[in-house]
Amino acid sequence: MAEPVVVASLPGVCRTILGNAGKGCMHWSREFTLRTDATCSGCHGRQWLLKLLGAVLVTLQALSAADAVPDPAQGVASSRPRVPGNQGVHSQREIRLRQAVERDPASFEANYRLGEFYVQMRKLKAGIPYLEKAHELNPAHYANGYDLALAYFETGDLLRARRQIQGMLVQRDNPELHNLLGDVEEKSGDPVRATQQYQLAAQREPSERNIFDWGNELLLHGAFEDAEKVLSVGIERHPNSSRLHIGLGIAFYSRGFYDDAARVLCRASDLEPLDPRPYLFLGKMFDISLSQAGEVKARLRRFVQSHPRDAMAHYYYAMSLWKGERTPKGEGDKREVEGHLKQATALDPAMVEAHLHLGNFYAEEDKLQQAIFEYRRAIRLKPDLASAHYRLAQTYRRSGDMLRAQQELELYGRLHARDTAEDAKK
C-alpha cells in the first residue's frame, strides 16, 4: 500500500537569496507547501517524522548554546548559570541586598544588584520590579536593560520584551538585541519577523551562534534550501562547529540529498565524537546513502563503543550492519546483527522499533516462532502500530495459522485506514 500524502502549508515562510559574502535581501513567498509523499521531489515518503525530529534537535541545540557564559559586561541573564552555594548564604545575601534598596530606593546600583541576584537565582518574577526600577533610573545601562528584556521574555511577557528591545535598539543597534528579538518573534508565532531579526544579528556579527540561530529558524519552518545556504556559509566561517554541520545535514536530508547529508553528519560526529546527537541522525540513513554506507557504519560502530549502555547505539549499528551496504551477509554478520538488536531490547525493553526489527530479522531467517514473539512484544508496547500487525499477519500465514493471520490483517486494515485519514487532515 502506498504511503499517504501529507501536505503542510506554512504561510509567510521566507526565501533568502544570499550574496557572495553570505549577506542578502529577504524575499517572502506567500505560501510554502511541503509535500511528503514518495514522489515529491526532494522528499521521501517515510521522512516526515525525521524532519520534525530534526526541528526538535536543532531547537535543543539552540537552547544548549545559551549555556555558554558571555562577556559579563553584556549582562546576558539567561546565559548565567544559577549561582551555586549554601541556601543560607543566599538568604543572607538577599537580606543585605534588600536592606540596601530599603535604605536608598532611588539607588540604581542597589536596585540593579538585587534584580541581578534574583535573575541569577532564576527568580525572574521577583527580580523584574527591581530591574524595572533600575531601568527607570538609568535607561542607558545596557546590561540592566538587556536582562530586563530577557526576564520579560522568559516569563512569557512577550509584549513588554519586544517593547524593551525595540527601545534599546533605538539607542544601540546591537546584534545581540536582534537575536533576542528573533527569539521573541519566534515565540510569538511570527516566523517571518523572527527570521528577519536572526538574519540581522548574523549579518552584523557572523558568530557561530547567530548564524546557527538564523539557519535553525529556516529549518524549523521548512525553508530547507535557504537553510542550506546559510549554514554552508556558517561552516566556511566556523568549520569546527558540530551543530552547524548537524543543521546542514538536516537541510540536505530534507531536500533529498542523502549522500551529502550523511557526509556532513559524519563530519559532525568526528568533531564531537562523544556527542550522541549526530549519530541519532546517521542512524536514520543506514539504508538511503549507499555511497556513504561504509562511513556511516564506521561512525555508528564508534557510537556503540563510546556508549555501550545506549540502546539506540546498538539498534542503529545493527541496522547499518544489516541493511546499510545491501551486500550478502555471512553467518558472522547475521549473528552480530542479532546480538546488537537483542542488546538494544535488553537495555531498553520498551524500544518498540528494536522488537519490530528483531522480529523482521527472525522472519528473514525463517525463525517464525521467535519472530512472532518479537512482533507480539512490539504490539504490546504499541497496540496501534499498523506495520507490526501486518508483519505478524504475514508470519502467522507462513506458520500455517490462517485464523490469526486473518485477524491481524483485518486489524492492520483498520489501523492503516485510520492513519491515512488522520494524515489527510494534516
The three three-digit cell numbers of residue 310, written as one number: 545506549
Question: In whole angstroms, how far apart are CA 380 and each of 226, 314, 384?
Answer: 43, 22, 9
- Is 263 within a domain? no
- State the total domains in the chain: 1
Place of cell 522488537: 355
Question: In whole angstroms, how far apart are CA 284 and each of 43, 309, 323?
Answer: 14, 20, 11
Return the minimum-mean-pLDDT range out of 133-142, 207-216, 323-332.
323-332
Predicted confidence at residue 26, as pLDDT, reads: 29
- Is 69 within a domain? no
- Is 396 within a domain? yes
Considering the chain, what is the average pLDDT of its residues? 82
Is the separation of the CB atoms in 243 and 58 below 8 Å?
yes
Q: Of residues 237 and 31, which shows the higher confidence score?
A: 237
Is the separation of the CB atoms in 205 and 213 below 8 Å?
no
- The DSSP element (H or E) to which 381 belongs, if any, is helix 368-381
- Is 410 within a domain? yes
Average pLDDT (171-200) is 96
Burial class, 84, CB count within 10 angstroms (exposed 0-12 / middle 13-18 / buried 19+): exposed
Which domain covers residue 369, as residue numbers?
349-425
The per-residue pLDDT for range 103-143, each reduced to its tens digit, is 999 999 999 999 999 999 999 999 999 999 999 999 999 99
Place of cell 517571518: 192
Average pLDDT (145-159) is 97
Return the minimum-mean-pLDDT range out of 13-22, 101-110, 200-209, 329-338.
13-22
Give me the CATH number covering residue 392: 1.25.40.10
Question: In whole angstroms, how far apart are CA 339 and each of 334, 346, 357?
Answer: 8, 10, 12
Q: Which residues contact 327 (CB under 8 A, 6 or more apart)?
A: none
Residue 416 has pLDDT above 90, yes or no: yes
Q: How far is CA 416 from the centre of its chain?
A: 28
Q: What percent of the chain has pLDDT over 70?
A: 78
Side chain identity, residue 198:
Y
Predicted confidence at residue 284, as pLDDT, reads: 82
Residue 40 has pLDDT above 50, yes or no: no
- Is 5 within a domain? no
The three three-digit cell numbers of residue 96, written as one number: 543585605
Residue 19 has pLDDT above 90, yes or no: no
Task: Say how far apart CA 135 and CA 141 lie, in whole Å.
Answer: 7
Residue 216 has pLDDT above 60, yes or no: yes
Predicted confidence at residue 87, as pLDDT, reads: 65
The per-residue pLDDT for range 50-90, each reduced to its tens digit, is 444 444 454 444 444 444 333 333 444 444 445 555 666 77
Predicted confidence at residue 421, as pLDDT, reads: 87
Q: How far is CA 268 from the centre of its chain?
A: 15
Cα dihedral 58, 59, 64, 66 sign: positive
The per-residue pLDDT for range 353-401, each reduced to its tens digit, is 999 999 999 999 999 999 999 999 999 999 999 999 999 999 999 999 9
Is the separation of the CB atoms in 229 and 16 below 8 Å?
yes
Predicted confidence at residue 385, as pLDDT, reads: 96
Predicted confidence at residue 78, as pLDDT, reads: 42
Beta strand 31-35 with 26-28 is unpaired
The per-residue pLDDT for range 190-203, each reduced to its tens digit, is 999 999 999 999 99
- Is 389 within a domain? yes
- Is 358 within a domain? yes
Predicted confidence at residue 359, as pLDDT, reads: 98
Average pLDDT (146-152) is 97
Is the separation of the CB atoms in 260 and 225 below 8 Å?
no
Q: How confident is the model at residue 426 (pLDDT cuts 50, 70, 90)?
A: low
Return the minimum-mean-pLDDT range out of 170-184, 249-263, 268-282, 283-297.
283-297
Q: Which of 190, 163, 192 has its CA nearest to residue 177? A: 163
C-beta pairs of 120-127 under 8 Å, 24+ apart in sequence: 120/77, 120/80, 120/82, 120/83, 121/82, 121/83, 121/90, 122/82, 124/151, 124/154, 124/155, 125/155, 127/151
Q: How confident is the model at residue 343 (pLDDT cuts 50, 70, 90)?
A: very high
Q: Which of 197, 151, 188, 148 has its CA nearest to residue 168? A: 148
The per-residue pLDDT for range 267-324, each reduced to its tens digit, is 999 999 999 989 988 888 877 888 898 999 999 999 999 999 999 999 999 999 998 7
Task: Say how far apart CA 380 and CA 317 lie, in whole Å.
Answer: 25
Predicted confidence at residue 189, as pLDDT, reads: 94
- Is 381 within a domain? yes
Place of cell 536543532: 58
- This prediction's pTM: 0.75
